[in-house]
Every structure is written in structure tokens, then in C-alpha cells.
Structure 1
């Protein structure tokens, strides 16, 4: 597997495809997103990595200050822009109650999400999927992005977000961002 990682070393999705860089998700960078489990631009502990790498697929605890007045939903998106794909790989997407200011460890678990958390489809599953980069591919950045939305998110002709909506459809439908915050962590499989 390390051979595959070395062969794909220069193949990465890139930052351009991150939700953070979507024109409709631009806004004031005023939500200070942090975690007691790792600091910005530091390694993510193995506990939060994928099970096949010895982790527990346990989403890290997250904290942020209260969303601005007028926020109707919080959108949390976790992406890996270093995945050897055309677009960043989605490791979790959820709608949060706007009154929340934190998530506990494991708050994005598919079977038992925290109160106020609605897990959306990340493509092939719901809930948090921990880091599991290809061996030898180098460090991967995991970008936790929180958006305070001023209007309810709707996808397609529905007046809600279907649980089965594709992540790119959810991100394309989001807008009216009142504030946003970002936390980057790294994980490397050697």
C-alpha cells in the first residue's frame, strides 16, 4: 500500500474544492472554532482516526462562540483536500441547532449523534469518518468548517434537506452565511 501512496504523492484534490472556498459560503471569519483534542494546524490524535488505522472513528470535541443573531442553522463540514481525488473527500456533514456552542467527543457518531445534531449523507454513509490516508501518501489536512446560516438550507424542490442529499448538492444550496470558522488538523500514515 505504501507503493500506491508514493505513486499518488502528487495527486491531491486541493484547497479550491473545499466548502470554505465556495463563493456561496463566503462570510465573516468570526466563529472561533477550536478543539480540546488538538490545536489548529497540529496532528490529530490516532483516537480520532479510522478504525483500520487503530483509531476509533471518534469525532473530536469542538467548541465555538455563540452564532450571531439571525442564525437559523449551523452547517458543519469536514473535508480532506489532500485526498487523491478530483474533489476533497467528505469526512462528515451535519446541520446543527444554532443554539449549540460545542460538540462532545463522538458527537457525530452515526448511531448516537449528540442532541441538536442532524447528520447528513457524506456520500456513502452518515456520521464522522476518521482520517485514513493512503500509507506513504504524506500528511493529509482535515478541515473542520462551521458556517452560521441566516436562512434554512433547502435542497432541490423540497423545503428541507433530504437525508440522502449528496454533499455537493447540500453545499451548493447553502448560502446567507452570517459567520464562519475553521479548524485544520493533520494526520499522516507512515
Structure 2
């Protein structure tokens, strides 16, 4: 696998197609998103990584400053922007009750999400999927992006329910105004 990683070293999705850069998800950048497991731009611990590389696949602790008044829902999107594909891989998407001020470790699990959390479909499955970059591909950046939405995201009659929608289709369908947003980046390399 190390050879494959080296062969693909110059192929990276980049951040152009991240949720953060979608025109309809633009807004003020005043939310401060933090984790007690890693600092912005720092290495993520193995516990937060995928089981197939020796991790526990436990979503990290996340905390944020209070969202602005009028926030109906929070949207969390976690993307690997260094995956060797044309677009970033969505490792987790979730809708969160705005009264929630933080997420404990494991709160984004598919089987037992925390109260006030609706885990959605990701590129890999449902719930949080930790880093598992190709060995030898170099460092991968995992962006945790939090959006404070002015109206709740829900399914329109006759459309795919948000829990079953593919992540890119779901992100493209959001029409709620973004009142505020913040992000945190963790790094992992094999």
C-alpha cells in the first residue's frame, strides 16, 4: 500500500468542493470550534481513527461558542480534503440541536448518537468514520465544519429523506440561511 500512496501523492481533492466553499453555505465565520483531543492543524489521536488501522473509530470531543440567536439547527460536516479523488470524502454529516453546546467522544456514532444529534449518510456509511488514509500518501487534513442554520433542514414532500440522501446531494440541497460558521482541522498520516 505504501507504493500506491506514493503513486497517488500528487492527487488530492483539495478544499474547492468542501461544504465550506459551497456558495449557499457561506456566512460569517464567528463560531469557534475546538476539541480537547487535538488543536487546529495538529495531529489527531489514533483513538479517533478507523478500526482497520488500529483506531477505535470514536468521534472526538467537539465544543463551540454559542450560535447566534435565531439558529434553528446546526450542521456538522467532516471531510477528508486530501483523499485522492475529485471531491473530498465526507466522513460524517450530522444535524445537531442548537441547544447542544458540545459533543462528547463517540456522540456521532451511527448506532447510538447523542441526544439532539441526527447522524446522516456519509461517503462511507452513516455516522462518524475516522481517518484511514492510504499508507504513504502523506498527511491528510480532516476538516470539521459547523454551520448555524437559520431554518431547519428537512425533507420536502416527494424527495429523499435527509437521513438517506447521498452527502453531496444533501449538501447541495440546503437552502437554509447560514447565520454563522466555524471549522477545525485535524491531521493524520500513515
TM-score range, shorter chain: over 0.9
Residue of structure 2 equivalent to 1:23: 23
Residue of structure 1 equivalent to 2:75: 75
TM-score, structure 1 as length reference: 0.95
Q: Is the 8 A contact 2:40 2:184 kept in 1?
A: yes
Residue of structure 1 equivalent to 2:136: 136
Residue of structure 2 equivalent to 1:188: 189
Distance 1:117 1:163, change over 3 A: same
Q: Is the 8 A contact 1:154 1:173 kept in 2?
A: no
Where does structure 1 differ by over 4 angstroms across 4 or more consecutive aligned residues?
A: 155-161
Residue of structure 2 equivalent to 1:105: 105
Residue of structure 2 equivalent to 1:178: 179
Q: Is the 8 A contact 2:91 2:124 kept in 1?
A: no
Q: How far off its partner does 1:154 sit?
A: 3.4
Aligned residue pair count: 189
Q: CA separation in 2, counterparts of 1:6 and 1:90? A: 23
Q: How far off its partner does 1:172 sit?
A: 1.1
Residue of structure 2 equivalent to 1:6: 6
Q: Is the 8 A contact 2:89 2:123 kept in 1?
A: no
Gaps of 5+ in 2: none
Residue correspondence of structure 1 range 83-102 to structure 2 within 5 A? 83-102=83-102
Q: CA separation in 2, counterparts of 1:81 and 1:10? A: 13
Distance 1:16 1:120, change over 3 A: same
Write the deviation string for residues 140-186 of structure 1: whole angstroms up to 9, x where unpaired.
00000000000121345458943111111221122300000100010
Residue of structure 1 equivalent to 2:53: 53
Q: CA separation in 1, counterparts of 2:172 and 2:128? A: 21
Q: How far off its partner does 1:67 sit?
A: 1.2
Gaps of 5+ in 1: none
Q: CA separation in 1, counterparts of 2:10 and 2:108? A: 31
